[in-house]
Structures are given as C-alpha cells and as structure tokens.
Chain A
Amino acid sequence: MSLISVRNLSLAYGDFMVLERVNLEIEAQAFCSVVGASGCGKSSFLRLLLSEERPSGGEIRLDGAPLADEPQADRGVVFQRYSVFPHLTVMENVILPMELAGSGFCGRFFGARRRRAMAEAEHLLERVGLTQARNAYPQTLSGGMQQRLAIAQALIPKPKVLLLDEPFGALDPGTRQRMHEIILSLWEEEKMTIFMVTHDLQEGFKLGTRLLVFDKLRWDPQAPEAYGATITYDLPIDRRRSLPPELPEELAAEADRFNRKSNQKPYRNEGPFNAVQ
C-alpha cells in the first residue's frame, strides 16, 4: 500500500480554483520532487499535505488513515526561511522536539534528562556538520547551516514523511550542492519519504526518484481563475544524480525559464561561519 494517497483533491478560494482533480499515490521511501511555474498550486498542495489548509474536495490519506486536520508530528517540514527558532541555540533547537514530547507542562528537560537528550542529538548534529556550531544562535549561522539545522530538527520526531518547501531556494549554488549531498545521504540512511517542492527543475531531477509537474490542463483566457492546476507529468527517475539524456521539449523550455528566474535571485552573503563548512 502506498504511504500517501491523494484522491480527486481540489482546492478553491471562492471562485478561484487553485487545484483540481489531483490524484497521486506515493510509495514509502520515495523522494518526490514537485516543480511547476509560480502560482501553479505546488505550494498550496504542500500546505494541504501539512493540514495547514483544508481541501475543498477529495481527500488525502497517510498510511491509510485520513490526515489529521492540523499539523502533527507525523509530517515534518522544512521551509525556505524561518524554519528554526531564533531564540534557541543550535543544540537547543535540536533537542526541542524531544523536550516537547517528553515534558508536557514545562516543555523543557533539566539535569540528567537534558544531558541524555543532548548526547542523542550529538550524532545528528555531526551528521549535518554542525557540531562546532552547537552553542551558536541561528542568527550567526549561514543560510546553509540554518537549513541543515532545520532538517536535523525536523528529523528528531521521526516523521513518516518529510516535506520540503523550496528548502534550498535562498542558498548560493555551491552551498546548494553540499545541501543536496547531505539530504540524499540522510534520505538513504534514514529510509525516509521526502516530498520536495522546488522551482529548480535540475534540482528536482537530481534529487528525486520521481518528478511531479503541476500545471493547468485547461485554460480559459476570459476567466483565468476558472480552472485549477493538476499533475501534468509524473516521471519516475531511474538514473538518479544525472540528468536524463533529453528532457521533453516543454520541460526543457520550462527548465530554461526557471533557471533564468533563479539567476535573478540576489546573491546571499553566507556570513562568518563559511569556514566551518
């Protein structure tokens, strides 16, 4: 049975159709990339998977059961920004999920329990290369380090599926490469199911075992809001980490468009911790 199954899902704001007739089965341990032009509903779809929004029609099932109607620990998430808590150090951010689960009223561990949690977190910090930044506040970390911290934090509750919302969109190309390696090796090690929204088609191909493209099938020039987007391509990717020899023509054009757009992104200064990487 598939881990996530989406049946005839639709989302509308009043007359404005965002998504319609979305059907999808995602098997466990898949790495699913989602691409599409901006405004195509891919982020809305992610919000539906998070239960941040309710569908207007259809349903999403996770492990056979309908999704809880608010965000839960069964689905982890990493956003493009604001994914870590600025008032906690790296270590505090990582042990926070353990504290929340283990201490209902205080939400905080003290003494031996805290030390145990920190020892447990140590391995994961090492895994994402943040051991030396353990006591730093996120403000002082580079964008790449913040995202690695966010990923480590999201993995602690052992979610059934990890949702990534353009997680590497704000990073410069070199940092993005390293992030790709880290996320792939974590994915292999932890046997996770990942669902990643990206605007970078290359990235989608490189990381995913499966690529979904969201677009509108029908288009009414008099009423552009009348029809919603759905999944227009669903490509299994066999040869990971290399681009397929030839992209379908439309996809190539789309990739071109994305890349032009992403080149306009402002350069991001990575800050004083670059050397630590």
Chain B
Amino acid sequence: MGRLINRRPGRGGQLLLGALPFILLAAAYLMASDARLAVNPNDKLLPSLQSFADAIDRLAFQPDPRKGTYILWDDTLASLLRLGLGLTVATGIGLVCGIAIGLLPLARSAFAPVVAVLSVVPPLAVLPVLFIVFGLGELAKVTLIVIGVTPFMVRDLSMSVAGLPREQLVKAQTLGASTWQIVTRVVLPQTLPRLISALRLSLGPAWLFLISSEAIAATEGLGYRIFLVRRYLAMDVILPYVAWITLLAFVLDWLLRRLSRRAFAWQSGEAAL
C-alpha cells in the first residue's frame, strides 16, 4: 500500500477528513475575528459569535417593533413563495414543451430553434424589461425565475424524450397505442425522473435569479434583507442569512433526491443518483 492512489480512509477517517475543512474555516474566521475585535471592539466586518446569536435572536425570535412580525420568517416565506411559484411554472412549461419537442417532429421543427436561441439570452439582461413591463411587484420576480430556468428545462427534457429508444415507440404502436396514450403511458412516466433531476439542477440558477431581483426591487425577502443591511455593514445579519439560504437550498435538493428515489423504484441505482 505504498502508493497514494491506493490509500483509502476508513469510515471514521472519512468523517474526519470531510469535517476538517469546515473546522479549519471556522477556526480561521474565529481567530481573525478575535484579532480585529481586540483592536477595535466596534468592528463590524468580522463579528463575534455572540453578535451572530444576538442578530439571529432579534430577527427570528423577537417580533419586529414596527410591524409586529418576525422578520426572518417573513423574508423566508416571501422568498420561498416566489421560488416555488417560479419553479412550478417553469417545470410545467418545461414538461409540456419538452415532451412535445422531443416526441413530435412537427413541434420539434417549429419550436426547437426558438428555444435554442432563447436559452442563450442572459436572463438578468432582460430584468429591466421585466420591471418595465410587469412593474416592481411579484410578477416581475417570478417571471425572471421562469425565464431563467425554463429554456434549460425544455432542452433537457426534450433531449431525454428524444433519447428514448426508437424500439419502445414502435412497440407501443404495435400494441395499439395512440399518440396521447404513448405520451401518458410510455413517455411521461419515463420523463418524470429526469424532470426531478432537471429541477434539482435548476435550483441553483433559480436562487440566483431570486436574490438578484429581490436585491433590486422588493419590500421583503431573503435577498432584499441582505442587500438592505449591507448599507450598515451588518455582517452579523448577512452571514447568518447566507447560511440560512444555503441550508434551505440544501434541504430542497435533498428532498427532491429522496422523492426521486422513492417514487421511481424502477430505475437502476445509477440513474437514480
């Protein structure tokens, strides 16, 4: 076992090695924070753990003195609603257009070129257009997520549908299936797992578009809050918010992965990853 490529960690070793970077990052932060606070106790750039705890307590567990509601939960609810609405619409369009383009030659000829062009338009570049057309309300933010995510979904799903073996479609026809029956009994059930994985891959961009649009025009939301308190250099709020967003994103991804494994038992282990 002399070569490095053959040395593998045990179970404990794996955990330890995985945790090591986190521990190092935390330690580096704490040392730097301590050093700065020793020089200037009012330093705002690298707050201590105590100020984090205070900020979290203030935002999550004390009602806001002006509105009487809890700011963190308000922000979370507003952001998740926008994200959920945007992703739902994008997924619906993606599924319908993806199956149509992947399965029907007529739809492919008509829509594949326009989807290919739309998918390279940078979504943030059309954000001003959305604000002009839809105003500064919810619609513009949800539309940005839809515009940002849908072309990818359509392309991914249409490719997956087009990749179904020709034999399956011929066989279904020899069993007497109509186009509608082929869609509902053969294509759709086999596309759903791919839909979930496309959704998982879209979560990252969706968060990006959400936070960008909230940063520009909003009255609540996780992205709004971060950009609001940036004016006061309130790192004690920004960093917990970033950690919270990360946690939410991670949990969503995990839930979708579990759903995919549970719901599509017919897939092989490899495809379900």
Contact = CB atoms under 8 A, between A and B. Distances in A.
Contact of A82 (B167, B173, B178, B185): B167
A204 B258 CA distance: 49
For the complex of A and B, list the 4 residue pairs with the smallest distance between their C-beta atoms, beginning with the closest: A71-B173, A82-B165, A73-B176, A82-B167
A96 interface: yes
Contacts of B186: 85
**Chain B at the A interface: mostly helix, strand, loop or mixed?**
helix
Interface in A23-64: 50, 52
Given A85-B186, A104-B178, A137 B266 contact: yes
B189 A157 contact: no
Interface residues of B, number: 24
B266 A87 contact: yes
Nearest to B193: A87
A201 B264 CA distance: 41
23 contacts: A50-B174, A70-B173, A73-B175, A76-B175, A77-B171, A79-B167, A81-B165, A82-B168, A83-B167, A86-B267, A87-B189, A88-B266, A96-B175, A100-B176, A100-B178, A100-B181, A107-B180, A107-B184, A139-B266, A139-B267, A154-B171, A154-B175, A159-B174
Interface of B: 165, 167-168, 170-178, 180-181, 184-186, 189-190, 264-268
A228 to B, nearest CB: 23
Nearest to B190: A87
Overall SS of chain A's interface: loop
B266 A86 contact: yes
Given A87-B266, A96-B185, A137-B266, A77 B170 contact: yes
B190 A86 contact: yes
Q: How large is the interface on A (under 10, 10 to 19, 20 to 34, 35 or more residues)?
A: 35 or more
Contacts of B165: 81-82
B261 to A, nearest CB: 14
A97 interface: yes
Q: Which of A75, A87, A139, A154 has the most CB of B within 10 A?
A: A87
A211 to B, nearest CB: 25
A70 B177 CA distance: 12
Query: Which one of A75, A79, A156 has the highest number of Cβ atoms from chain B below 10 Å of its Cβ?
Result: A79
Given A83-B167, A86-B190, A100-B181, A73 B174 contact: yes
Contact of B174 (A108, A139, A154): A154
Contacts of A72: 173-174, 176
A142 interface: no
A78 to B, nearest CB: 8
B175 A107 contact: no
Given A82-B168, A87-B189, A87-B190, 4 more contacts: A79-B171, A100-B175, A100-B176, A100-B177
A101 interface: yes
Interface of A: 50, 52, 70-73, 75-77, 79, 81-83, 85-89, 96-97, 99-101, 104-108, 137-139, 150, 153-154, 156-157, 159
A50 B170 contact: yes
A108 B190 contact: no
A102 to B, nearest CB: 10
Contacts of B170: 50, 52, 71, 77, 79
A241 B265 CA distance: 42
Given A71-B173, A73-B174, A73-B175, A107 B266 contact: no
Contact of A71 (B174, B180, B184, B264): B174
B167 A75 contact: no
B72 to A, nearest CB: 42
A61 B189 CA distance: 36
Contacts of A76: 174-175
Given A85-B186, A96-B185, A105 B173 contact: no
Given A87-B189, A139-B266, A81 B167 contact: yes
Nearest to B169: A71
A99 B178 CA distance: 12
A75 B176 CA distance: 10
Given A86-B266, A96-B185, A137-B265, A156 B175 contact: yes
Contacts of B177: 100, 107
Given A86-B266, A137-B265, A107 B173 contact: no
Contacts of B268: 139
A83 B165 CA distance: 9
A127 B189 CA distance: 29
Nearest to A70: B173
Nearest to A79: B167
A163 to B, nearest CB: 8
A121 B266 CA distance: 21
> Which residue of A71, A76, A137 has the most chain B CB atoms within 10 A of its CB atom?
A71
A74 to B, nearest CB: 9
